[in-house]
A and B are shown apart, each in its own frame.
Chain A
Amino acid sequence: MSTTYRTCPRSGLQFELQAERLMLANAVAAVVFLLVGGILAVGVVLTRWPAVHWLSADAFYMVLTAHGIDMLIFWIIFFEMAVLYFCSSTLLRCRIATPRMAWLGFALMLIGAVTNNIAVFRGSSSVMMTSYVPMMAEPAFYLGLILFAVGALIGCFVFLGTLVVAKREKTYQGSIPLVTFGAVTATIIAVFTITSGAIILIPTFLMSVGIVKEVDPLVYRTIWWAFGHSSQQINVAAHISIWYAIAAICFGAKPMSERVSRGAFLLYILFLQLASAHHLLADPGMSTEWKVVNTSYFMYFAVLASMIHGLTIPGAIEVAQREKGYTKGLFEWLRKAPWGNPVFSGMFISLIGFGFLGGISGVMMGTEQLNMLIHNTIYVPGHFHATVVVGTTLSFMALTYFLIPVLFKREMINPGLAKLQPYMFGLSMYFFCLVMMGAGTLGVARRHWDMTMGGSPLAYEFPGAAYLMMGLVGIAGIAAILGGAIYIYITVGSLLWGKKLEPGVQTTQTIPLPKTPMPNVVIQSHGSSGFAAPGTFALAMVFLVSFVLYYFINWKYLSQVWGLS
């Protein structure tokens, strides 16, 4: 298939025609599902706000099922497909491998997503995204997920194929860029993940149509979470790659050391698969040894990797800023960062929130004994909105602001509003997560329609503070939804009626990446003692102290509850 390439005059990036169309289609599909999921969030949040308690119970459970799936699976994975094509075809300046297969994958994903949504909105598949057996949904529910997964798997192989094309056609020299390496990490985990998903969803589908008699509930939970949690690691690898990319785009930042950053990605590949365990810590059946080893990703090596990325990304920015002369004190580099640019502010708000809120709470929850304190409480959605919304979703939003002129070739409408958006969305999400965690600590259940428990004579009377927290969840949630709506307005609006920008020079052959020139200053020359990023290090110490304190407070709390053995 013949194709053309264009060099974007605004970024210098080169887009291949097929890849560009695929990215556009995937990104648009993603945003549509974000819109649907966001509308559903209104229903979820206004029902969980005790003073409003809007939807009926069956509507609430249906809406919550759809919210979880549309957001976590469809919005995120469609967007990730666009990211994969960007990291391969665009960053390596090569044509996309087998574009027809890529379109087939996209079509399957779309058909699957729509099928699943129809099943949910028909009302008899309110089983939550986890669909634990023996509670059954309609066959179309599982079929939709399976089709979507097959489509995504095809996308992964197209990505890997594209890397092979780039290598063979020598469109770059040396090793692949770090960001592409991160995308490879995400893809490898994705292949593992989707396979696990297939192993468990196919028998469950067969059970729903009556071919298979029974799927064991505990086996289901174990394998489902090998899919459900590992897919979160795809998100982590993807959004960390985006952070590196944005640091490079906004600052020309270079990784402090390629070896460390790539090594940290490698740790993800090696250890993230074990994550299934931390969803089963409060379950019967598994041995203690299995739980301890797996929940810690074999001695916390994946946590180590995240802590490394959390330092090296701001560290790289600091080094780049100091090179530009922002060297005063510990934090001039940060104060003088482009806080009015939503690409940067979104990325930084995402990074800090992901680390402080999502990371610390996640490690706490994933500790074998501490998990008992919060298992299935609303603390859990509090944690993962910090990871998957503040972390992944906000990074995708930040990247979109970069892509509007570069990939969509449109001028952004309303840049003033765009400037505000990451703050509004990110900071209200911070608060939303905190109050959810607060409510969870007071025992409020997740996936729960009514805190008063319908006036059951045995009901637990939640303390006033729990009601207050859930009220704040409502208010913060609505603020976050408005922030999300602004993102959709700007993205869709720019696509539809933003001023068209010049696409740039077209060629029929790719222009291979020139060899990256050697930097003339060695990083090690910074600071008096070769301490290149002291500000970042100070931030990291603040992080560590918060982490240690919060971790041991929870042990203290655990030591006071009933004895269990």
Chain B
Amino acid sequence: MSAILPPAERLWWKHPLDRVEGTWIVIAFVWCMIMFAMMVGWHIYGKQNLSTETYKTTPELFGKKAQDVVDKYTVRKETDREIPVVHPPPGSDVYLVARLWDWWPIIELEKDQTYKLHLTSMDYNHGFSLQPVNINIQVVPGYEHVIKMTPNQAGTFSIVCNEFCGIGHANMAGRIYVK
């Protein structure tokens, strides 16, 4: 009469439940339904839901679109690598390129305005990790992910790469300013 022996009762499935088990199953079930409802409910009432708008793309295609935005909205250049800082108008499309091993270009946004951020990778998988906000999104090559983003605080934010992408992975940094 133990878990390593065959059950004593042939009709073990007719054995009545103990109240401890029965009560716990009900509580656990209710909690599971609450958790499920939270996910669904947040899509209706919550303000942080990851968009699933996705297009197939290629490095050439995406690179060209990103270049157009850079040509149009660059306001200055930063660091000794002369990385362009783009300041696109609120509501517009912003392109961020992930590649070995940087995030390009630097983006300047306005607080409480919404932008459509287009993300893709030119090579391997990368990880978009916005710090210190702690929003983390996978960046997959061949797929253009369009995310509507509304910064709610001003400041300087860093993008850390948090998907392993080769030897330079740990140095792969980017920046977003919010004014």
Contact = CB atoms under 8 A, between A and B. Distances in A.
A458 B174 contact: yes
Given A296-B39, A369-B50, A284 B29 contact: no
B158 A459 contact: yes
B127 interface: yes
Contacts of B133: 561-562
B81 to A, nearest CB: 8
A315 B8 contact: no
B52 A288 contact: yes
Contacts of A258: 7, 9, 12-13, 15
Nearest to B144: A284
B49 A519 contact: no
Nearest to B55: A284
Contacts of A534: 20
B170 A57 contact: yes
A177 B18 contact: no
A303 B21 CA distance: 16
Contacts of A497: none
Contacts of A32: none
Contacts of B12: 175, 258-259
B2 A218 contact: no
Interface string A430-455: 00000000000111011111100110
A287 B53 CA distance: 8
A238 to B, nearest CB: 14
A260 interface: yes
Interface in B131-149: 131-138, 140-145, 147-149
Contacts of A252: 1-2
A362 B170 CA distance: 26
A374 interface: yes
B48 A563 contact: yes
A280 B137 CA distance: 10
A174 B1 CA distance: 13
Contacts of B153: 562
A450 to B, nearest CB: 4
Interface in B44-73: 46-52, 54
B174 to A, nearest CB: 6
A177 B5 contact: yes
Nearest to A301: B32
Given A57-B170, A288-B49, A445-B127, A376 B32 contact: no
Given A308-B25, A531-B19, A559-B47, A376 B8 contact: no
B47 A565 contact: yes
A453 B164 contact: no
How large, as a class, is the contact surface on chain B?
Answer: 35 or more
A536 to B, nearest CB: 7
A372 B140 contact: no
A58 B127 contact: no
Interface stretch (A38-46, A340-348, A510-518): A510-518
Interface in B146-179: 147-153, 158-167, 169-175
B23 A537 contact: yes
A118 to B, nearest CB: 21
Contact of B140 (A128, A135, A218, A311): A218
A448 B169 contact: yes
A207 interface: no
Contacts of B1: 252, 254, 516-519
A540 interface: yes
A561 B147 CA distance: 14
Contacts of A372: 48, 50, 135-137
A127 B7 CA distance: 47
A373 B70 CA distance: 29
Given A368-B39, A369-B50, A564-B147, A376 B127 contact: yes
B168 to A, nearest CB: 8
Nearest to A13: B4
Contact of A456 (B21, B27, B32, B173): B173
A111 interface: no
A255 B3 contact: yes
A561 B132 contact: no
A542 interface: no
A464 interface: no
B23 A369 contact: no
Contact of B7 (A174, A295, A565): A174
How large, as a class, is the contact surface on chain A?
Answer: 35 or more
B8 A551 contact: no
Interface in A327-366: 363
A420 B68 CA distance: 65
B8 A217 contact: no
Contacts of A563: 47-48, 114, 148-150, 152
Contact of A175 (B7, B106, B130, B138): B7
A360 B83 CA distance: 43
B137 A454 contact: no
Contact of B48 (A537, A544, A561): A561
Contacts of A285: 52, 54, 140, 143, 145
Interface string A277-292: 0001111111110011
Interface string B60-102: 0000000000000000000110010000000000000000000
B132 to A, nearest CB: 6
Interface in A490-547: 513, 515-519, 523-524, 529-534, 536-537, 540, 544, 547
Interface string B95-117: 00000000100100000001000
Interface in A543-562: 544, 547-548, 551, 555, 558-562
Contact of A445 (B148, B151, B161): B161
Nearest to A300: B32
Given A247-B3, A458-B173, A516-B7, A443 B160 contact: yes
Contacts of B48: 369, 372, 558-559, 561-564
A300 to B, nearest CB: 4
Interface string A211-237: 000001110010000000000000000
Given A175-B7, A262-B13, A443-B131, 9 more contacts: A284-B143, A285-B145, A299-B32, A304-B29, A316-B3, A376-B127, A454-B171, A533-B18, A555-B38
30 contacts: A61-B169, A134-B141, A175-B12, A177-B4, A177-B6, A178-B7, A254-B3, A257-B15, A257-B21, A260-B21, A284-B143, A291-B52, A300-B32, A311-B24, A369-B39, A372-B136, A375-B127, A377-B129, A456-B173, A457-B80, A458-B174, A460-B158, A462-B131, A534-B20, A561-B135, A562-B130, A562-B149, A563-B48, A563-B114, A564-B147
Query: Which 3 pairs of residues, A with B, have the shortest CB-CB distance?
Result: A460-B158, A563-B150, A284-B145
